[in-house]
Amino acid sequence: MVANIMKNIILSLVLMVVLGLGYHLVITGIAQVAASENADGSLIYDEKGNVVGSELIGQKFDDPKLFQGRVSSIENNGAGSGTNNYAPSNEEMIKRTQESVENWKKENPDVPVDQVPIDIVTNSGSGLDPHISPEAALAQIPRIEKLTGIDKGKLEALVEKNTEGKELGLFGEPRVNVLKLNLDLNQIVE
């Protein structure tokens, strides 16, 4: 009986080491070899080699001269994700959305209210989405043109350059990574 208990304890310890540690080291090693950029968090670097963010996590940009991303539930804290799962009729959701629309109207007075892109005043399910629709990026051009003096055509070309198509040509919608777009915009402004 004691021998069986010892065998079970030893087997449990061996399996904990092999599966709890060994498996993760092997998978991490494979990921580093096969897709090291993705395995390291899809980091984006500036021209000086400093990490400025991740391709996968949205950031809040307070400077009105920059393109703005989606409303975030986490405010530049990628430690957690998710949003409140409010119904469209929820009072708190309605209030937050109305506040977002009012802020949009103040910052972008040249864009008619009926043309406010929905993705710019709502958040994604994860609260981490780094993308906006090309329409949401284009709607911000009048503000950015006015504040930076950059020609509308150059700004439209930046948006087009940073527009990613559907995955495999089939899945999802065209989208613009706001961080990458703002990095390109900063190169023109400087």
DSSP 171: B
pLDDT digits (tens, 9 = 90+) for 5-32: 999 999 999 999 888 888 888 888 887 7
Shared domain for 65 and 111, answered yes or no, is: yes
pLDDT digits (tens, 9 = 90+) for 36-71: 666 666 777 877 888 877 777 778 888 899 999 887
Tokens 């980091």 -> residue: 43
pLDDT digits (tens, 9 = 90+) for 137-189: 999 999 999 999 999 999 999 999 999 988 888 888 899 999 999 989 988 87
What range does the domain containing 29 cover? Answer: 1-40
Shared domain for 96 and 173, answered yes or no, is: yes
CA 153 to chain centre: 26
Shared domain for 106 and 30, answered yes or no, is: no
Which pTM does this prediction carry?
Answer: 0.73
DSSP 156: H
Shared domain for 115 and 173, answered yes or no, is: yes
Q: Are 101 and 113 in contact (CB under 8 A)?
A: yes
Nearest to 120 by CA among 129, 132, 128: 132
CA pair distance 59, 108, nearest whole angstrom:
20
Shared domain for 111 and 160, answered yes or no, is: yes
Shared domain for 93 and 21, answered yes or no, is: no
* Phi-psi group of 72: left, alpha or beta (phi > 0 → left; psi -120 to 50 → alpha; rest → beta): beta
Please count the structural domains in the chain: 2
Shared domain for 135 and 94, answered yes or no, is: yes
Shared domain for 74 and 112, answered yes or no, is: yes
Q: Are 62 and 47 in contact (CB under 8 A)?
A: no
Shared domain for 35 and 84, answered yes or no, is: no
CA pair distance 139, 158, nearest whole angstrom:
13
Nearest to 140 by CA among 89, 88, 103, 97: 103
Shared domain for 32 and 65, answered yes or no, is: no
Q: How many CB atoms lie within 10 A of CB 120?
A: 24
